[in-house]
């Protein structure tokens, strides 16, 4: 123990010999100044001053250097000691500590405050992608229930509504089909002059160069509105899957259950379209000669049907009269 202390003292003296000599010089100058007085007062003062500066300066510098050295070496000692400690710990504790030592990720609030621009750009890209899905247009004319003319910019386009079919009103080779005029009137009332959006779902044009689209007005799809009113059937499902097919089928089934519009005539709607001939109800013959004939509801799909039945012209109030057959509104249909 004594040897170890002596070794430590010797090492300390060697390392700090300059400081010790400086203090010794200052002590000798003080001794000469106070007791011996063989040196002049000025020279003794110089020795004292130089010795103090050298001694105190050395120990002050040496102390700050040792402190810096300890700070520099401390992390290395800790890092070297840590693996040795972890070897004695269970694997799960080592993993947990490793995860705890990892730098914490910035909180969402920090990221939001530090870098708002990337998030804003992402939202703008998403909105731009959604806007690109639709084309803004203005409705200028109704051809019939499922065919609309719109203006896109300076160009006029004809739009054929996707997945729906309304009764015919414009075919020169076919009679006007029941509920065709009603579908056209509904479209005119709902759409003419309105700002709409076109949504494409598959091929954008048909063989007649018409745009094939869902037509949005506000937050509703007009195609679906026709189905809900019983003025159209789901048809022309050529290229499934379609985005709004399930909603359209649901709307059609609801109108069918409620017997609205085209579904009010049994057998009128078929897979291949509309059968207007079944819409003409014939007057039943009297059950006996003694019973007067009872007036029944009569429906003529067109004036051609009324003429074929020998009922034309039909005056307002008579069986079979309806405004759709009275084009000029004078109270006489199929004149």
Query: How far is 140 from 147, CA to CA, in rounded Å?
Result: 12
Pairing of strands 195-199, 164-165: unpaired
Query: How far is 167 from 276, CA to CA, in rounded Å?
Result: 9
Cβ(179)–Cβ(195) under 8 Å? no
Annotated catalytic residue within 32, 157, 182, 210: 210
* 168 is annotated as an active-site residue: yes
Query: How far is 241 from 6, CA to CA, in rounded Å?
Result: 94
Q: At what angle do helices 17-31 and 2-15 cross, to 10 degrees?
A: 80
Annotated catalytic residue within 168, 228, 229, 276: 168
Annotated catalytic residue within 157, 160, 182, 252: 160
Structure token pair of residue 244: 């709004």
Which 3 state secondary structure label does DSSP give 273?
strand
* 291 is annotated as an active-site residue: no
Query: How far is 299 from 204, CA to CA, in rounded Å?
Result: 39
* 160 is annotated as an active-site residue: yes
**Alpha helix locations (H) across 17-107?**
17-31, 41-87, 91-101
Structure token pair of residue 251: 């709307």
Catalytic residue positions, numbered: 160, 168, 210
């Amino acid at each position: 123990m004594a040897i170890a202390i002596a070794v430590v003292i010797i090492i300390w003296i060697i390392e700090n010999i300059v400081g010790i000599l400086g203090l010794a010089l200052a002590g000798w100058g003080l001794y000469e100044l106070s007791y011996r007085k063989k040196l002049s007062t000025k020279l003794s003062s110089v020795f004292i001053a130089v010795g103090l500066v050298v001694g105190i300066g050395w120990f002050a510098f040496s102390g700050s250097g040792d402190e810096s050295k300890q700070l520099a070496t401390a992390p290395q000692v800790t890092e070297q000691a840590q693996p040795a400690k972890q070897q004695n710990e269970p694997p799960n504790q080592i993993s947990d500590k490793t995860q705890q030592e990892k730098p914490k990720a910035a909180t969402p609030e920090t990221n939001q405050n530090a870098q708002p621009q990337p998030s804003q750009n992402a939202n703008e890209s998403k909105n731009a992608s959604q806007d690109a899905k639709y084309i803004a247009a203005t409705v200028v004319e109704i051809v019939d229930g499922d065919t609309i003319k719109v203006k896109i910019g300076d160009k006029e386009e004809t739009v054929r509504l996707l997945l729906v079919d309304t009764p015919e009103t414009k075919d020169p080779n076919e009679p006007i089909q029941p509920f065709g005029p009603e579908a056209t009137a509904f479209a005119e009332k709902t759409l003419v002059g309105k700002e709409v959006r076109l949504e494409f779902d598959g091929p954008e044009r048909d063989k007649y160069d018409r745009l094939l689209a869902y037509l949005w007005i506000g937050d509703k799809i007009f195609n679906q509105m026709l189905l809900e009113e019983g003025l159209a059937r789901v048809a022309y499902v050529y290229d499934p899957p379609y985005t709004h097919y399930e909603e359209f089928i649901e709307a059609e089934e609801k109108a069918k259950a409620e017997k609205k519009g085209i579904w009010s005539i049994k057998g009128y709607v078929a897979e291949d379209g509309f059968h207007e001939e079944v819409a003409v109800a014939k007057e039943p013959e009297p059950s006996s000669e003694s019973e007067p004939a009872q007036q029944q509801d009569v429906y003529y799909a067109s004036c051609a049907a009324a003429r074929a039945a020998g009922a034309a012209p039909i005056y307002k109030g008579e069986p079979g009269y309806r405004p759709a057959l009275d084009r000029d509104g004078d109270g006489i249909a199929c004149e």
